[in-house]
């Protein structure tokens, strides 16, 4: 089967949502799309590499889902609506069952958010998937990392640390009940991109970032770009039952430093607290975990006001 037959069979018209905005999709030298007037284009590209971003025995369906989800998460952090995706796959060989399963995972999520696969590339080599997602938002409404101000409240969506616990369990460094194991591995492989939350935060949040490398590392980017610091209250960290069953400091460590959560971390002015909580909790749980300070650095406050010092700092790519 040639590259072109594979593309025809598995990728072309994969998602079936192709709207009028796609003038040329898969099958020409390049794709051609129309960006509606008054909208800006938002671009995010992420690579998932076997053995680095997912375990080599991860199910193809989960890889397909997650490859798209991590990019959608970046759209969420900007407040953008994802619209089109391009994908370059490097495959060790053509395994039709694997490809079909991969696309089940990809398409499931793509359909949910009406994202069209409009182009890409395919070549032979070590398993790796690079996806770029293209989103839209009304001009000048992007939520950036540099807008956090002293006194702002810091929120996160969902729970933190589940994916980190899954990795720990897979490495044999944590022993979980079957139920907890299934729950955290699903959280690792199937993160929920917080698209609707991101959209709802437009005009409300002063900054936002998605938590992919660990809360401390990612909030660190917001603080660096905003020239501020933060205080975080450990007892406020939203954690699943699975995490709460661990020793407290282990759970805090995971919630602060483990990667792959793909939750949103955002800041708001205190006056917006009630509005945010009312509006957002209807979409997904949000929790206030601390506040932005003038003083640089991040202080983590544990039980009884004592400083908590995590051992790790977050996922390092190199």
Q: Are 23 and 32 in contact (CB under 8 A)?
A: yes
CA 36, chain centre distance (Å): 26
Q: Does the footprint of a copy of itself cover residue 241 (CB under 8 A)?
A: no
Residue 252 and residue 308: Cα distance in Å, rounded?
9
Q: Does the footprint of a copy of itself cover residue 203 (CB under 8 A)?
A: no
Region from 11-19, 49-57, 108-116, 296-304 binding a copy of itself, contact rule CB under 8 A = 49-57
Q: Does the footprint of a copy of itself cover residue 32 (CB under 8 A)?
A: yes
**Beta carbon of residue 264, minimum distance to a copy of itself (angstroms, whole number):** 10
Residue whose structure tokens are 């053509």: 94
Torsion of CA 66, 68, 69, 75, to 10 degrees: 160
Residue 90 and residue 13: Cα distance in Å, rounded?
20
Q: Are 100 and 141 in contact (CB under 8 A)?
A: no
**Beta carbon of residue 146, minimum distance to a copy of itself (angstroms, whole number):** 8
Instruction: Give the total of residues touching a copy of itself (CB under 8 A).
Output: 69
Q: Does the footprint of a copy of itself cover residue 44 (CB under 8 A)?
A: yes
Q: Are 83 and 125 in contact (CB under 8 A)?
A: no
**Beta carbon of residue 213, minimum distance to a copy of itself (angstroms, whole number):** 9
Q: Does the footprint of a copy of itself cover residue 208 (CB under 8 A)?
A: yes
x/- mask, a copy of itself, residues 160-199, rule CB under 8 A, reads ----------------------------------------
Three-state SS string over 52-78 comes to CCECCCCCHHHHHHHHHHHHHHHHHHH
**Beta carbon of residue 113, minimum distance to a copy of itself (angstroms, whole number):** 15
Residue 181 and residue 202: Cα distance in Å, rounded?
35
Looking at residue 307, the DSSP 8-state letter turns out to be B
Q: Does the footprint of a copy of itself cover residue 43 (CB under 8 A)?
A: yes
Q: Does the footprint of a copy of itself cover residue 206 (CB under 8 A)?
A: no
Interface residues with a copy of itself (CB under 8 A) are 1-4, 6, 23-24, 27-35, 37, 40-47, 49, 51-53, 74-75, 77-78, 80, 84, 86-88, 90, 94, 118-126, 128, 130, 132, 134-135, 137, 139-140, 142, 144-146, 208-210, 221, 225, 316-318
């Amino acid at each position: 089967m040639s590259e072109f037959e594979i593309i025809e069979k598995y990728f072309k018209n994969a998602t079936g949502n192709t709207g009028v905005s796609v003038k040329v999709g898969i099958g020409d030298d390049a794709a051609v799309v129309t960006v509606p007037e008054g909208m800006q284009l938002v671009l995010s590209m992420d690579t998932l590499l076997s053995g680095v971003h997912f375990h080599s025995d991860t199910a193809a369906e989960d890889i397909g889902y997650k490859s798209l989800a991590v990019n959608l998460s970046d759209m969420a952090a900007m407040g953008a609506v994802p619209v089109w995706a391009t994908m370059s796959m490097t495959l060790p060989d053509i395994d039709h069952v694997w490809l079909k399963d991969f696309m089940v995972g990809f398409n499931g999520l793509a359909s949910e958010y009406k994202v069209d696969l409009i182009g890409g590339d395919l070549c032979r080599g070590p398993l790796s998937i690079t996806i770029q997602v293209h989103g839209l938002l009304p001009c000048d409404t992007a939520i950036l990392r540099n807008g956090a101000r002293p006194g702002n409240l810091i929120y996160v969506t969902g729970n933190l640390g589940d994916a980190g616990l899954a990795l720990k369990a897979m490495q044999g460094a944590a022993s979980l009940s079957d139920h907890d194991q299934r729950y955290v591995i699903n959280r690792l492989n199937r993160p929920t991109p917080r698209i609707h939350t991101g959209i709802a935060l437009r005009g409300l949040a002063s900054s936002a970032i998605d938590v992919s490398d660990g809360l401390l590392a990612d909030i660190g980017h917001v603080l660096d770009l905003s020239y501020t610091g933060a205080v975080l209250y450990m007892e406020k960290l939203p954690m699943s039952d699975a995490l709460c069953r661990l020793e407290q400091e282990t759970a805090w460590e995971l919630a602060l430093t483990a990667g792959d959560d793909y939750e949103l971390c955002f800041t708001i002015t205190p006056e917006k607290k009630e509005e945010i909580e009312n509006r957002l909790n209807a979409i997904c749980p949000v929790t206030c975990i601390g506040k932005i300070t003038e003083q640089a650095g991040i202080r983590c406050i544990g039980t009884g006001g004592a400083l908590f010092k995590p051992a790790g700092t977050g996922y390092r790519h190199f």
